[in-house]
Structure 1
Amino acid sequence: MAGGSEARAAKTDRRARPQEEAGLDRELEHLPVGLRWREWMMRVEAVIFASVEPVRRETLVRVVGASCSIDLIIDDLREELRNRPYDIVPVAGGWQHRTRPAYGPCIRASDASTRSVPAKLSEHEAAVLMAVGYFQPVTRADLSKIFGKEISRDTIASLRADGFLAPGPRSPTPGAPYTYVTTKHFLSVFGFETLRDLPDIEALEDAGLLGKDAQIDVPNDEIAVGANEDE
């Protein structure tokens, strides 16, 4: 019995420490402090550069020592990239390499194939998506009230197919219709770290993207707080 318990404990320990199994030395105690920090910086940047999605903190800590501060590593990396056309930016709860906005026109003019090609949204789809971002969880009927016209099932289906929307909790209103919330993909594509980074809602109203006479009562301190932020 004791032998079986030890075997199970060893198996659990191996699952909990995949970096040791792969032979990765995280602590780098054989290196001087300066070189150790430099190696940690290079590891963190390599992981972020290689990933197609924003990299979360818990992913980065797998490749550095226990005493390493991810925040300080990111600060040092961003300082080194200060004069480069790209940066490491906080997006969707993690970090990602992003080209600086000033070079967007240049990249588009080059017609180069980029690593990520966001879905092309119509003006109407973009407006509906932003409305969900502000008022989520929100039903299709609620969206229709906001815009003063019916929001079709096809519009919602298209945004879901592109990965921008996901089903939320059932509404407590009669019939318990589905609600919709935005996804991590939404944050990533639009460059938001969290939903609290959404622009001021009055700016969207002034731009005519949301009706000023919207009938949905959402307290200001609840706007841009989605149920999926911690997923």
Structure 2
Amino acid sequence: MVGASAAKTGRRQAKEQQHDLLFDRELEDLPPELRWREWMLRVEAVIFASAEPVSRETLARVVGRDCSVDLLIDDLREELRDRPYELVSVAGGWQHRSRSAYAPAIRASQAPTRGGAAALSEFEAMVLMAVGYFQPVTRSDLSKIFGKEVSRDTIAALRGAGFLSSGPRSPTPGAPYTYVTTPHFLSAFGLETLRDLPDIEALEDAGLLSGQAVQAEIDSHGEAEEGEDSSASV
């Protein structure tokens, strides 16, 4: 059984190596301006075809060794300046996104769209954002933040939609599970990193957060981080 698996892996690797030999990344037979143009088109095609943000490492597989992916992206963004869609940096990669000015037209058309955020209730969306701010966070912590219980069904719905995954066990009694956001969360909400999350006050203004609980949670996280720093320095 092990031998069959190893043989299958070997055949796959050999096929990939053969493909690499046949695929012309460098395009040395083309003049520089046509070579650059072809690389641009390749990068755009890969991003367009992908359902998830495409990383720099992935794009580097279809262009020359000395080609700057970032400069190619800059040129593509310039070409798309007058189009209803653009290239955006999300979740550590690039993805085509419709410009926000055309969102009403897209909604009015009722056409099915690919990717994006699943349909969440207002409360589910707020819980998801709270996890984004305070992760890793337990369900009990979330209930304190919102001033009411966050049910297991709410967490299960967010996990099922691919927005949450399990984090490390909490050091509190009982060692409950904590929850963290996933790369899909960043992609669905058009965020490059968690630093792009809106101000925490927006959640409180929506009336679903307890301001005192939020501040207490922020303070407790700060104290925990200071404790870790002190331990590390001993």
TM-score range, shorter chain: 0.7 to 0.9
Paired residue for 2:165? 166
Verify the 8 A CA contact 2:116 2:187 in the aligned structure 1: no
Shift of residue 117 of structure 1?
A: 5.8
Paired residue for 1:4? none
Verify the 8 A CA contact 1:131 1:210 in the aligned structure 2: no
Q: 2:221 aligns with which of 204, 208, 218?
A: 218
Q: What's the TM-score once normalised by structure 2's chain length? A: 0.84
d(CA) in 2 for partners of 1:12 and 1:123? 46
Equivalent residues in 2 for 1:1-231 (5 A)? 14=14, 17=17, 19-21=19-21, 23-116=22-115, 118-214=117-213, 215-216=216-217, 217-219=220-222
Say if 1:18 and 1:109 are closer, same or farther in 2 by CA, change over 3 A. Answer: farther
Verify the 8 A CA contact 2:92 2:193 in the aligned structure 1: yes
Shift of residue 200 of structure 1?
A: 1.2
Q: What's the TM-score once normalised by structure 1's chain length? A: 0.85
Say if 1:177 and 1:144 are closer, same or farther in 2 by CA, change over 3 A. Answer: same
Shift of residue 211 of structure 1?
A: 1.9
d(CA) in 1 for partners of 2:94 and 2:116? 18
Task: Summarize deviations over 1:63-96 as a string: whole Å, max 9, x none.
Answer: 0001111111000000000000000101111100
Shift of residue 173 of structure 1?
A: 0.5
Verify the 8 A CA contact 2:116 2:189 in the aligned structure 1: no
d(CA) in 1 for partners of 2:97 and 2:205? 29
d(CA) in 2 for partners of 1:178 and 1:211? 23
User: 5+ unaligned residues in a row in structure 2: which ranges?
Assistant: 1-9, 226-234
Bigger fraction of residues in helix:
2
d(CA) in 2 for partners of 1:209 and 1:57? 39
Task: Summarize deviations over 1:135-194 as a string: whole Å, max 9, x none.
Answer: 000000100110111111111011111111000000001110000000111111111011
d(CA) in 1 for partners of 2:102 and 2:165? 32
Residue identity in the other structure for 2:221: V
Secondary structure at 1:213 match in 2: helix
Secondary structure at 2:88 match in 1: strand
Residue identity in the other structure for 1:20: D
Q: Superposition RMSD on alpha carbons, in Å? A: 2.1
Using the aligned pairs only, state the percent identity. 72
